[in-house]
Amino acid sequence: MSDTAAPAPDDLAQLRASIRGVAIGPADPGYDVVRRCFNALIDRRPAVMVRCRDADDVATALDFARSHGLEIAVRGGGHNPAGHCVVDGGLVIDLSLMRDVSVDPAASTARSQGGATWLDFDSATQAFGLVTPGGIVGSTGVTGLTFGGGLGHLTAQHGLTCDHLLGADVVTPSGKVVQAGDGGDSELLWGLRGGGGNFGVATELRFRLHPLERVVGGRYLFAGSDAAAQALRRFRDVVAADPRDLSCQTLLGNDPESGAVVAIVSPCYTGADSDTEALRTLRSSPGLVQDGVHPQSFIAQQHVFNPTYGEDRAYWKGHFVRELPDELIDTLVARMEAMGDRSPGQILIESLHGAPKDTDDDSAALGFRGAAFNISAMGSWLDPALDDDYIAWTRETAAALEPWSHTGGGYVNYMQADEPIERVRAAFGDERFGRLQALKSKYDPENLLRRNQNIPPAA
Ligand SMILES: Cc1cc2nc3c(=O)[nH]c(=O)nc-3n(C[C@H](O)[C@H](O)[C@H](O)COP(=O)(O)OP(=O)(O)OC[C@H]3O[C@@H](n4cnc5c(N)ncnc54)[C@H](O)[C@@H]3O)c2cc1C
């Protein structure tokens, strides 16, 4: 049962009367559905959730939270593994009713409301044969992902998602609407490209688009003795040649029956031929048991990974690394074997070759552009009694990566809430972190938006 101190009924009634959206308290129908996030490890009970319809609703919700002393959480797609989108006893600014995406095909740009998901975005842009490099799971929020950087099936071809962010409308904690980029505050745009939801609540984002309809993609599955390690080495060697028309990620998992380590290699090729030397090299690695790579629409590619929402308990931790030597590959495979016949979850290895390196490093706050790969241990389980085991496995796996770490910091989009500030600082580096702190002081001097990978205001 909840011990949440909900705002007085009169106050809640006044809030409801002053917004176009909906305010949901613990006694209202739908409360348990709306408070749910991707990670079932997170089970929090907000005092009120304001499902906003526009920027005025967001400003009203911010004002209500401030005047009632309620801690604030901001929710887009609800995917952040830290569960930052929901807060015990506080107020959630829920953008999930603001999901419109409109496309200007002549200008190759799109406007995306603050709560849109990648399925919303891709469906709208693909209707015109256009795309922005986004996340690989349709239910992930466009805004949350973009504000942390953004890696996916088109990273090598077009770069990071935030590199395509042209501008945004942001409601600051004081209730003022400011424009980032597009002739507005260019420093704020720099900060939004990697600095997360620290500066305000975005109600609209504007993106640059590229033409793209079909890809060759899907997944190869490798199983059997040493197959996972060999597939990883092939993947590393293929991306080392810096193919500009091939993005690629590899996932280590376990065979559900034997428990043996398997590798899922997921390429997304956008070159002229339907087959290419790079794909032939990938699939000729020993132990190919499933070849699911073929020509398909980009929308179909975006369904290659479709995890369930709100069922698995999840704990993630990782590092951007400088390189992927054999010794590290062996370490990763050994970590997958470390739980015996119990599947620990997955280890995801995302390549950062190609276009991310073409963009001026000073155009965005994020600090990982120079890394070779992002490696993430993703503990995933169902039974609450196993929480400690899985969290320990994830932490130990991340610790094993440290010798190869690019900066010592991880990917803010995959961080849990228990990361120390040193890891968040290291994700950006001291200089960028200081610049972000100055921006935070300007837009959120009281640190009201602190349910995120927090950048505290400069002292
Ligand atoms: C299944 C899954 C797949 C993923 N795939 C990818 C991937 O392919 N590539 C990748 O780079 N990352 C990926 N991620 C990570 C994801 O990008 C981050 O977790 C991101 O924070 C999720 O955004 P969200 O809006 O869905 O989450 P939420 O939990 O709703 O929000 C997370 C945080 O983002 C900020 N935020 C969200 N909306 C707004 C807004 N409108 N204004 C201001 N701040 C806002 C807030 O600080 C909020 O706390 C994935 C995560 C999961 C669980």
The DSSP-derived string for 419-442 is --HHHHHHHH-HHHHHHHHHHHHH
Residue nearest ligand 1's atom 6 by CA: 135
* pLDDT over 60 at 110, yes or no: yes
DSSP string, 274-291: SS-HHHHHHHTSTTEEEE
Atom of ligand 1 nearest to the CA of 202: 42
Rounded Cα–Cα distance for residues 193 and 430 (Å): 17
pLDDT value of residue 308: 87
pLDDT digits (tens, 9 = 90+) for 275-293: 899 999 999 999 999 999 9
pLDDT value of residue 2: 40
CA of 197 to the centre of ligand 1 (A): 10
Q: Does residue 423 line the site of ligand 1, with CB under 6 A?
A: no
pLDDT value of residue 275: 87
Q: Does residue 415 line the site of ligand 1, with CB under 6 A?
A: no
Residue nearest ligand 1's atom 33 by CA: 144
In b/e form, how buried is each residue of 290-300, taking b as 16+ CB within 10 angstroms?
eeebeebebbe
Please state the rounded mean pLDDT for residues 446-456: 97
* pLDDT over 50 at 1, yes or no: no
Q: How does residue 5 score in pLDDT terms, banded at 50, 70 and 90?
A: low
Alpha helices in 174-268 (DSSP H): 186-192, 227-240
Rounded Cα–Cα distance for residues 151 and 114 (Å): 19
- Using DSSP bridges, classify how beta strands 91-94 and 72-75 pair: parallel, antiparallel or unpaired: parallel
Token pair belonging to 149: 């950087």
Residue nearest ligand 1's atom 28 by CA: 78
Q: Does residue 140 line the site of ligand 1, with CB under 6 A?
A: yes
For residues 103 and 120, the answer to whether their CB atoms sit within 8 Å is no
CA of 145 to the centre of ligand 1 (A): 4
Q: Does residue 409 line the site of ligand 1, with CB under 6 A?
A: no
Token pair belonging to 87: 């807060």
pLDDT value of residue 26: 94
Claim: this prediction has a pTM higher than 0.95? yes
Which residue matches tokens 């997170």? 42
pLDDT digits (tens, 9 = 90+) for 202-252: 999 999 999 998 999 999 999 998 999 999 999 999 999 999 999 999 999
DSSP state of 369: T
Residue nearest ligand 1's atom 36 by CA: 144
Residue nearest ligand 1's atom 37 by CA: 144
Token pair belonging to 215: 């890809």
Please state the rounded mean pLDDT for residues 193-209: 98
**Considering just the CA atoms, what is the radius of gyration of the chain in Å?**
22
Rounded Cα–Cα distance for residues 301 and 321 (Å): 26
| C-alpha distance from residue 208 to each of 12, 63, 104, 144, 272 (Å) | 40, 33, 10, 17, 23
Q: Does residue 307 line the site of ligand 1, with CB under 6 A?
A: yes
In single-letter form, the type of residue at position 51 comes to R
State which of 84, 85, 117, 140 you would mutate to test the pocket of ligand 1, scoring each by most atoms of that ligand within 8 A of its C-beta.
Answer: 140
pLDDT digits (tens, 9 = 90+) for 396-421: 999 999 999 998 889 999 999 999 99
Q: Does residue 80 line the site of ligand 1, with CB under 6 A?
A: yes
